[in-house]
Chains A and B, each alone.
Chain A
Amino acid sequence: MEMPTPNSMILSAKARIVARLREVLPADAVIDDEAETRAYECDALSAYRCPPMVAVLPRSTEEVAAILRICHEENVPVVPRGSGTSLAGGALPTADCVILGVARMNAVLETDYDNRFIHVQSGRTNLSVTGAVEADGFFYAPDPSSQLACAIAGNIAMNSGGAHCLKYGVTTNNLLGVTLVQMDGTVVQVGGPFMDAPGLDLLGVICGSEGQLGVVTEAFLRILPKPEGARPILMGFDDNETAGECVSDIIKAGVLPVAIEFMDRPCIEATEAFAKAGYPMCESLLIVEVEGSPAEIDEQLALIKEIALRHNPVEVREAADEEQAKRIWLGRKSAFGAMGQINDYICLDGTIPVSSLPFVLRRIGEMSKQYGLDVANVFHAGDGNMHPLILFDANKPGDLELCEAFGAEVLKLCVEVGGCLTGEHGVGIEKRDLMGVQFAPEDMEMQLRVKDVFDPKWLLNPAKVFPLKVTAARRAAGYVI
C-alpha cells in the first residue's frame, strides 16, 4: 500500500514539536519514545504498519484544541484514533504524523432519559455507552461487531453500522450532535440534544468523514428503550437464489426484522467444524431475528415461517427459548473466528442491491476458482451488506497481493451491479485506490472541496479515503512550511 513519503522537514523538527506538545499536555500524554510509539503502528488492518512520529493522549476538548493548534502551526499531519479497531486502515499512521488518541476521554457527561440522549466523550467504547443506560432499560443502537473495544469517535468517523441496522439505522441515524475541534484549534458545537439542527446538515457530512474534517471530542447520542425481547429463526435452502428470494419476500411482507443474516456453504462448514452449532448442511442459511413481546414475536415468526415454507427450505428451526436462540446465533457469531482457524483472511464489506445477491454469489464462486483462493460468505442480507472472507496464507509470498487483487475484483462487481465499495467499514487506505471505480473525478472533487473548507491545509488524516494522486496537489500545498 503506497503511503506518502514522510516529510523530512517535519521529522527533523521532531524535538521542537514534542517540546511544544509537552508545554500544553501532562507528561504522560505525550509519547515519543520509539519503543512506545510502536503500540500505535497499526489498527485492525494489521498487514500495514508504520509507527507515528509522536502519539498524544489528551483528556479534554481543550487539550485536543491545544494539540491541533500546534500541529497546524508546525504543518504536522494528524491521524485521529479511537480504539484502533478499523478494518480499513483508518488509523494507520505515517512516520511524520502525530497520532491523536482519544481513548482517555471516556466519560459520560450527561444522561437524559426524558429527552432520550446520552452525552459522552468520544473515546468511550460503543458497548459501554449501552452499559451506562441499560440498567434503566435503554440502549445505544449501532452495534458493530467490535463494539466491546471500538470507540464512539471511530464509529462517528466511519459511520459504523452493525447487525441490527435494518431496523435502527447506522451511526448517522443515531447521532444528534458533536463537539468538533477543527485543525486550526477552533472548537465548534454541531447539533445538540435536539432532533434537528439549524442550517446545513454539517453533522451529516462530519459523520463518516473518516477523521478528515476535525477531531470529534464529545457526542450527543440518541438512546432507545430496549425491546421487550428478541428471538431468531433459522432456515436453510438448497441454493442461494431461493434464499435471496426468501429475503426479498420477508421484507415485502411488512415484517421488519431487526436482522437478516446470511451464510453460504463454505461458511456453514467452517463454523460447524469450529463451533458445532448444529446447523443444517445446505447451500445457504438465513437467520432472521424479530423483536417485541412474546406474543408479538410469535406473530412475526409465524409470518416469516409461512414465507420460508413457500420456498421449500431444507430446514426451518424456530428458537423456543433463550438457550435455542443462543445456539442459532452461535455459529454466526463464530464465523470470523472459524475462518481464522483455517487461514489468514481479508474481510470485504461491499454492499449490493438485494436483488443481485444470487448473481454476485455465483460470480464470487467463479472468481474463487480462477484465483485459487477459498471464499466464505457471511453477511447482513436485509440490507445487502456483504462480508466475503477470502482466505490466504500470509507466509506464502505473493498470496496477500493475490488475495487483494481478488478482493478488488469483488468490490468492482459490487459497484457494477449498483452497489458500493464499503457498507460499514469505511474506505481508509484499504479501498482508497478503488474510489475511482465508484466515482467520477468531479464526484470526488466536490468531496475534496468539503475538506478544503474544514481543513484547508490538508493535515487531518490526509493519506486516506481518496487516491493519493487525486489529493497530491492539495497535500503538497498543506505540507509547505
Chain B
Amino acid sequence: MRPTSEAELAEIIRSANAPLLVKGGGTRTLGAPKGEVLETSGLAGIELYEPGALTIVAKAGTPLADIEAALAAEGQRLPFEVPDMRGLLGRTGQSTIGGVVAANASGPRRVQAGACRDSLIGVRFVTGDGTIVKNGGRVVKNVTRYDLVKLLAGSFGSLGVLTEVAFKVLPTPATSATLILRGLSDIQAVAAMSQALGSPFEVSGAAHLPGDGTFLRIEGLTTSVAYRSGQLARHLAGFGVAEVEEGSSRWAGIRDVAPFLGKSGDVWRVSVKPSDGPALVANLGAEAVFYDWGGGLIWVLVAEGTDLRAQFGPYSGHATRVRGGAGIAHFQPEAPAIAVLTQGLRDRFDPRGLFGAAVA
C-alpha cells in the first residue's frame, strides 16, 4: 500500500484489520518486523523552506537526500548529522525524513547540536484509529501544548504514522578542522574528550577509535576555527601533541559506523555516562568497539548471539541491538513503572495494536 495523500493514509489505517509495517525507505529499520507494508514514499515534497527563519517543513516520505540538497543550496543543513545505516545493515533503499524522525537518528554532532528530536519542531501524524493529529508547528519557540513532537521522535512508528515534519535548521559553517590525538587508552581518550567538551572551544564532534586515534571536531568561521584548534590543542597538551587536520571528511565514517563495515558479528549501540564507558567496555568481551558523543555512545561489535545487556555489570546505561542477535530484544527492557506508562500511551495512540511491530 502506498497512499499519496494524508487522507488516503488515514482511510487505509481506519480500514486496516491486521498489523501494518510502516516503511519510509527501510534503511534503518531494526531487524525484519512483520506486517502488511505501508509505504510513506507517496507522501513526499518540501512544503515550506524559509532560510531566513531557519525552518523547513516537508512531507514525511520526502527523501532525506532531497532535504539535504535543498538546504545545501542555501548553505544550511540539518544540525543533527543524520547517520546513513545502509552499509552497516546491508540495505539499499533511500532514507526518508519521516524514517529519520521515527528513529531519532542522530550523528556525532549530538554533543553540540542535540539529537534529531531537539531540532524537530512540528509533526503531523495519523493515529491507530485513523485520526489526523498535528502538534508543534513551524516556529522554534513553542510551548503551546504537550510536546507530542518529542514523543513521536524515536517512537519507531509505534504511536502513529508521521505525515509531515518540521525542523529548525542551521547554517553550515564556513570551515572545519579535526584535532587528532594518537595512542591514548580508552580511559585516557574519554578523559581527553571530557576535557575538550568541558572547554569553551565549542567541540562539535568527539570520537575515539581504539588503535586509530581520538578525534575532535571544530567548526565555524575561518579565523575562529584556527584560533579554537590552537587553543584546544594547548588545553589538551597533557594528552600529547595533537595533529590538526583541515576539514572534517572523516566524520561521515564515524557517523555511519564505518569501522564495522565488512565485519561479521552482532552490532549494538550502548548509551552510557561517558566516564563509565571504558570500564563497561572491559566487561563486554567485545570484538571491537568505538566511542562517539564524547564517550556517551559506544558502538560494539560482538560474537553472534551475545546478549550484551547481561554483561553490563554494575554500570547503568542502556543497549540497543542494531544488527544480528535474533531472539534478543532490540530495545532495552523498561523499568516496570515506565513500561506501564509506555503501554498506556501505545494503547491510546494505537488502540488496535496496528503499529507495534517495529518495537516488538
A residues at B contact (CB < 8 Å)? 112-116, 137-138, 158-159, 161, 165, 169-170, 172-173, 182, 186-190, 192-205, 207-209, 225-228, 247-249, 251-256, 292-293, 295-296, 299-300, 303, 351-355, 380, 383-385, 418-427, 431, 435, 438-440, 442-443, 445-447, 449-454, 465
Find chain A residues with CB under 8 A from B117 CB. 201, 204
Can you name the residue of chain A whose Cβ is closest to the Cβ of B111?
Answer: A195
Chain A residues closer than 8 Å to B51, beta-carbon distance: 252
Q: In the bound complex, how far is the Cα of B151 from the Cα of A247, in angstroms?
A: 32
Give B224's nearest chain A residue, CB to CB. A296
Whether B74 pairs with A384 at a CB distance below 8 angstroms is no
- The residue of chain A having its C-beta at the shortest distance from the C-beta of B139 within the complex is A351
The distance in angstroms between the C-alpha atoms of A4 and B217, with both chains bound, is: 56
Residues of B within 8 A of A209 (CB): 146-147
* B contact residues, range: 35 or more
Indicate the member of B134, B143, B338 with the most A CB atoms within 10 Å: B143
CB-CB < 8 A to B274: which residues of A?
114-115
* Residue of B75, B150, B228 ringed by the most chain A CB atoms within 10 A: B150
Cβ A453 vs Cβ B114 within 8 A: no
Q: A422 with B171: in contact, given A115-B194, A115-B274, A450-B345 (CB under 8 Å)? A: no
Residue of A nearest to B52 (CB): A248
Judging by beta carbons under 8 Å apart, are A354 and B52 in contact? yes
Q: Which residues of A contact B151 (CB under 8 A)?
A: 200-202, 204-205, 450
| A251 near B148: Cβ-Cβ < 8 Å | no
Encoded as 1 (CB less than 8 Å from any A CB) or 0, chain B from 164 to 200 comes to 0000001111100000000000000001001001111
Contacts of B344 in A (CB 8 A): 452-453
Q: Which residues of B have CB within 8 Å of A439?
A: 134, 145
The chain A residue with its CB closest to the CB of B345 is A453
Q: How far is the CA of A425 from the CA of B141 in the complex (A)?
A: 10
Verify B223–A449 contact, CB threshold 8 A.
no
* Residue ID in chain A nearest B137 by CB atoms: A420
Instruction: Kindly state the separation between the CA atoms of A442 and B126 in the bound complex, as whole angstroms.
Output: 11
Contact B139 A384 (CB under 8 A): yes
- Residue interface mask B126-154, A partner, CB < 8 A = 1: 01000111110111111111111111011
Which of A114, A252, A426 has a CB less than 8 Å from the CB of B191? A114
Residue of A nearest to B53 (CB): A354
7 CB contacts below 8 A, A to B, read A195-B293, A201-B117, A293-B227, A299-B223, A303-B221, A355-B52, A465-B145
Q: From known contacts A198-B318, A204-B151, A225-B199, infer whether A423 and B139 are also in contact, taking CB-CB under 8 Å.
A: yes
Contacts of B142 in A (CB 8 A): 351, 419-420, 422-423
Q: Are B144 and A421 in contact (CB under 8 A)?
A: yes
Q: Which residue of B lies closest to A214 (CB)?
A: B341
A158 to B142, CA, bound (A): 10
Other-chain contact of A201, B111, B140, B153, B318 (Cβ < 8 Å):
B153
Q: How far is the CA of A249 from the CA of B75 in the complex (A)?
A: 13
Task: Pick the contact of B141: A138, A186, A351 (CB < 8 A).
Answer: A351
Whether B338 and A190, one on each chain, are in contact in the complex, defined by CB atoms closer than 8 angstroms, is yes
- The answer, yes or no, to whether B15 is at the interface (CB within 8 Å) is no
When chains A and B are docked, how far (Å) is the Cα of A281 from the Cα of B174?
36
* Docked pose: A159 CA to B227 CA in angstroms: 35
Q: Which residues of B contact A172 (CB under 8 A)?
A: 118, 147, 150
Q: A115-B275, A256-B171 are in contact. Are A205 and B146 (CB under 8 A)?
A: yes
Q: Return the chain A residue nearest B272 by Cβ.
A: A194
Q: Is the CB of A159 within 8 A of B273?
A: no
Measured CB to CB, the closest approach of chain A to B121, in angstroms, equals 10
Which among A194, A255, A446 is the interface contact of B273 at CB below 8 angstroms?
A: A194
Contacts of A113 in B (CB 8 A): 194, 198
Residue of A207, A254, A427, A453 near B144 (CB, 8 A) is A427
- Residue from the list B127, B138, B174, B345 in contact with A254, Cβ < 8 A: B174
Q: Decide yes or no: A353 and B138 within 8 Å by CB, A195-B296, A251-B54 being known contacts.
A: yes
Given known contacts A248-B53, A353-B50, is B332 in contact with A198 (CB within 8 Å)? yes
Q: Contact string, B3-16, partner A, CB cutoff 8 A, digits 1/0?
A: 00000000000000
Partner of A205, one of B52, B55, B131, B150: B150
A314-B136 Cα distance, complex, nearest whole Å: 37
> B228 contacts which chain A residues (CB < 8 A)?
293, 296
Is B335 on the interface with A (CB-CB < 8 A)? yes
CB distance from B10 to the nearest CB of A (A): 11
- Kindly identify, within residues 270 to 295 of chain B, every residue whose CB is under 8 Å from any CB belonging to chain A: 271-275, 293
A-B contact sample (17 more), CB < 8 A, given A159-B147, A447-B145? A112-B275, A114-B274, A115-B275, A161-B143, A169-B114, A172-B150, A195-B110, A199-B342, A207-B147, A249-B52, A252-B51, A254-B173, A296-B223, A299-B221, A300-B224, A418-B138, A443-B145
Residues of B close to A423: CB separation below 8 A: 139, 141-143
Please give, as numbers and ranges, the residues of chain A lying within 8 Å of B27 by CB-CB distance.
none
